[in-house]
Chains A and B, each alone.
Chain A
Amino acid sequence: MADGAVVERDVVDTVLGFARTLRHAGVGASPDRVEAMLAALGRLDVLDPSAVYWAGRLTLCSGPDDLDRYDTAFAAWFSGRRPRPAPAPAQATPRLAASAPLDPGTGEGDDSDAPDLAARASGDEVLRHRDVAGLTDAEREHLRRLFALLVPAAPMRPARRRRPSAHGSVHPARTVRRALRDGGEISRLLHRRARPRPRRVVLLIDVSGSMTPYADALLRFAHAVVRARPVSTEVFTIGTRLTRVTRELRLRDPDRALAAGGQAIPDWSGGTRLGEVLKAFLDRWGQRGTARGAVVVVCSDGWERGGAELLAEQMARLRRLAHAVVWVNPHKGRVGYEPLTGGMQAALPSVDHFVAGHSMAAFEELTGVISRA
């Protein structure tokens, strides 16, 4: 804080107030970042609004998503207008019965709401935060026990990096290091070889209205996969928009992880725009590396409200990037199911494995498909 000390007191108050506004807007302006902003201001002209703008933006923001919020908060705070405090997500009024309170054990059964929800699914984004632990007690207990038993194995890929091993090619560095210890005598050759590494698994889970009865189970499945391989797994939810929930699902406890995931998903039970959202995923994450060489699992019923053409195009693109594409459709488990929806028809040519995902048995089968993909 040596630099910050020269900054005057009212500047400090102004900056602290601004940081509070920013946190309301959803930018994680932590105290150490605020300290950095003050230090930066100490090096710049405090009376120059543009210098203040940059001092804050460079120190308080941590990603492109933060920049718009920063601009809005900056304009609001430094123009003297107090921004309306954003309503905290927890206070948002639940609009549907499925928005059970966070307290576990009082939730209503979701399945009975399902047809109603499916009927309500619309292009409009239904912005609400559902407690995903809100199943009936019996169901939740049942699923929890079963998911605890699920140990998904990761698919493996050959690695370039070689590690010490009893067999393989000679490891010169280790051999010589050993020789140095033995007084310069090479008494033994040490070896190294490549060991396979886990391949990345990307799960894209449809949380739109028509998938509501299955979304809980699919997220629990995703949690089991993340728990098994936290580093090489990515989970996104798709609906009217794309949300990355990997970080939330890394929480150890499944119920807390799912509650956190549920909080993070803004478009729960909304409509579906698979093609558009898949494109957003590929543009922002997939093409840059997340889907490259990965096993990508799309969990959806293929109920597409947008054009099927865009979906077909994006699925083809996904297939070119991914090592394997798995499509999980809960309805496939039903007797007599035919993939007739436009979305499914568009997607199937670009899918390597088409599997069911409606029961625990189907999930166990799915782990096998993923690990062999």
Chain B
Amino acid sequence: MSEPTVPGSPDQLAAALEATGYLPDEGLATAAYLALVMHRPLFLEGEAGVGKTALAHALAQVTGRPIYRLQCYEGLEASQALYDWDFGRQLLHLRAAEAAHAADDPERLEASLYDRRFLLARPLLQALEDSPSVLLIDEVDRADDEFEAFLLEVLSDFTISIPELGTVRAQTPPLVVLTSNRTREVHDALKRRCLYHWLAHPDFDREVAILRRRLPEVTDQLAREVARATANLRTLDLLKPPGIAEAMDWATALHTLGARDLDPDLAARTLGAVLKYREDTERVRSLAPEALVGG
């Protein structure tokens, strides 16, 4: 009962993902399939906005598993990723026990302080306890080296030992998706435990399909022209080439303004939806509009 929907091949998984609105290419479908059946974490790298985080959510939907997300940042500590004790409630419990004169047996009282109900589970522990689950470790490149070393330990045997309580072991290892924007080189030891996939921008047809799927209200014409213009923008060596997320924002903005196709004037006015640097905007404005809109 626990896993009714594990697909039998990459193609089946791709079809299931497509049903949720996430359109993977063959490599990504194979990567996700292998991560699922080999119980190996999936390490996704790629430019911002290519759909790394969205994949984890889509996989949770496909497999019917709960998803737990750990956002990494500099200074992230184990207690924020694993568990913490609820000290305030422990203290209250102690006082209540004293008031009820239950403090006669100090050992039992102490043991009762480290009960599961005083444990605050953080994403990693939650994902193990609630297995099978999907564990999204987002932007792991933002965490410190020490945190990476700690992750390595958790991801290699999927157990967490809590000194006061015992060991928590996942019955089925969670499907782990790690994402990185490459702000920093992640340690090789961590990558070695994972399947590595570089997520590139989608090709034209796939991007059109994604736009059509996610934004059904946008006309086919507009979706194609936005996809073509976005692809053109990516060839311009910009500071921040637009990802799928930006293409969707752009299409939405154009649609909101009543556009049925991409005319140069509207495109120039809505560049802010797709470009996020002044230099990039100026660069594109200085080009002939046909260079952007035409293919």
**A interface, CB within 8 angstroms of B:** 3, 28, 30, 32-33, 36, 39-40, 43-44, 50-51, 54-55, 57-59, 61-64, 67, 159-161, 172-173, 176-177, 179-180, 183-184, 231, 244, 283-284, 287-290
Q: CB distance A54 to B183 under 8 Å? A: no
Judge if B192 is at the interface, Cβ distance under 8 Å.
yes
Judge if B182 is at the interface, Cβ distance under 8 Å.
yes
Q: CB distance B30 to A58 under 8 Å? A: yes
| Residues on A with beta carbons closer than 8 Å to the beta carbon of B239 | 283, 287
**B22-40: contact bitstring with A at CB < 8 Å (1 yes, 0 no)?**
0000110011011001101
| Residues on A with beta carbons closer than 8 Å to the beta carbon of B293 | none
Q: CB distance B38 to A43 under 8 Å? A: yes
Categorize the interface residue count of chain B. Answer: 35 or more
Q: CB distance B45 to A64 under 8 Å? A: yes
| Residues on B with beta carbons closer than 8 Å to the beta carbon of A184 | 91, 94-95, 98
- The stretch among B63-71, B195-203, B256-264 that forms the contact with chain A is B195-203
Known: A64-B45, A287-B239. 8 other contacts (CB 8 A): A36-B40, A54-B26, A58-B197, A161-B77, A173-B87, A183-B94, A244-B185, A290-B184
CB distance from B194 to the nearest CB of A (A): 9
- B196 contact from A58, A176, A288, Cβ within 8 A: A58
CB distance from A312 to the nearest CB of B (A): 13
- Closest chain A residue to B188 by CB distance? A62
Q: CB distance A159 to B34 under 8 Å? A: no
Judge if B191 is at the interface, Cβ distance under 8 Å.
yes
How far does the alpha carbon of A179 sit from the alpha carbon of B95 in the complex, in Å?
A: 11
**B interface, CB within 8 angstroms of A:** 10, 26-27, 30-31, 33-34, 37-38, 40, 45, 75, 77, 84-85, 87-88, 90-91, 94-95, 98, 113, 141-142, 144-145, 181-185, 188, 191-192, 195-198, 239
How far does the alpha carbon of A297 sit from the alpha carbon of B38 in the complex, in Å?
A: 45
Given the known interface contacts A58-B197, A289-B183, the answer about A179 and B91 at a Cβ–Cβ threshold of 8 Å is yes
- B10 contact from A44, A160, A244, A283, Cβ within 8 A: A44
Q: CB distance A59 to B196 under 8 Å? A: yes
How far does the alpha carbon of A51 sit from the alpha carbon of B9 in the complex, in Å?
A: 11
* A-B pairs with beta carbons under 8 A, tally: 96
| Residues on B with beta carbons closer than 8 Å to the beta carbon of A33 | 192
| Residues on B with beta carbons closer than 8 Å to the beta carbon of A179 | 91
**For the complex of A and B, 10 pairs with smallest distance between CB atoms:** A289-B183, A176-B87, A161-B75, A288-B183, A184-B94, A54-B30, A58-B195, A62-B191, A58-B31, A64-B198
- Can you give 26 A-B contacts (C-beta < 8 A)? A28-B188, A36-B195, A40-B38, A40-B195, A44-B34, A54-B30, A55-B34, A57-B27, A57-B197, A59-B196, A61-B196, A62-B188, A64-B45, A64-B198, A176-B91, A177-B87, A180-B87, A180-B90, A180-B91, A180-B94, A183-B94, A184-B98, A284-B182, A288-B181, A288-B182, A290-B184
- Closest chain B residue to A62 by CB distance? B191
How far does the alpha carbon of A25 sit from the alpha carbon of B32 in the complex, in Å?
A: 27
How far does the alpha carbon of A173 sit from the alpha carbon of B84 in the complex, in Å?
A: 10
| Residues on B with beta carbons closer than 8 Å to the beta carbon of A183 | 94
| Residues on B with beta carbons closer than 8 Å to the beta carbon of A180 | 87, 90-91, 94, 113
Query: For chain A, what secondary structure do more than half of its interface residues adopt (helix, strand, loop), or is it mixed?
Result: helix
Q: CB distance B31 to A54 under 8 Å? A: yes
CB distance from A38 to the nearest CB of B (A): 11
CB distance from A285 to the nearest CB of B (A): 8
Q: CB distance A290 to B34 under 8 Å? A: no
How far does the alpha carbon of A287 sit from the alpha carbon of B276 in the complex, in Å?
A: 13
Given the known interface contacts A43-B37, A55-B30, A172-B87, the answer about A30 and B192 at a Cβ–Cβ threshold of 8 Å is yes
| Residues on B with beta carbons closer than 8 Å to the beta carbon of A161 | 75, 77
Q: CB distance A231 to B145 under 8 Å? A: yes
- Closest chain B residue to A67 by CB distance? B198
| Residues on B with beta carbons closer than 8 Å to the beta carbon of A176 | 87-88, 90-91
CB distance from A61 to the nearest CB of B (A): 5
- Closest chain A residue to B43 by CB distance? A62
CB distance from B228 to the nearest CB of A (A): 24
How far does the alpha carbon of A55 sit from the alpha carbon of B191 in the complex, in Å?
A: 16
CB distance from A66 to the nearest CB of B (A): 8
- A32 contact from B77, B90, B192, Cβ within 8 A: B192
- Closest chain B residue to A172 by CB distance? B87
- Closest chain A residue to B145 by CB distance? A231
How far does the alpha carbon of A54 sit from the alpha carbon of B198 in the complex, in Å?
A: 11
CB distance from B52 to the nearest CB of A (A): 14
| Residues on B with beta carbons closer than 8 Å to the beta carbon of A284 | 182
| Residues on A with beta carbons closer than 8 Å to the beta carbon of B185 | 63, 244
How far does the alpha carbon of A46 sit from the alpha carbon of B112 in the complex, in Å?
A: 55
Q: CB distance B87 to A51 under 8 Å? A: no
How far does the alpha carbon of A61 sit from the alpha carbon of B27 in the complex, in Å?
A: 13
- Closest chain A residue to B37 by CB distance? A43
How far does the alpha carbon of A62 sit from the alpha carbon of B144 in the complex, in Å?
A: 19
CB distance from B289 to the nearest CB of A (A): 24
Residue of A40, A62, A160, A173 with most partner-chain B CB within 10 A: A62
How far does the alpha carbon of A62 sit from the alpha carbon of B26 in the complex, in Å?
A: 19
CB distance from B197 to the nearest CB of A (A): 6
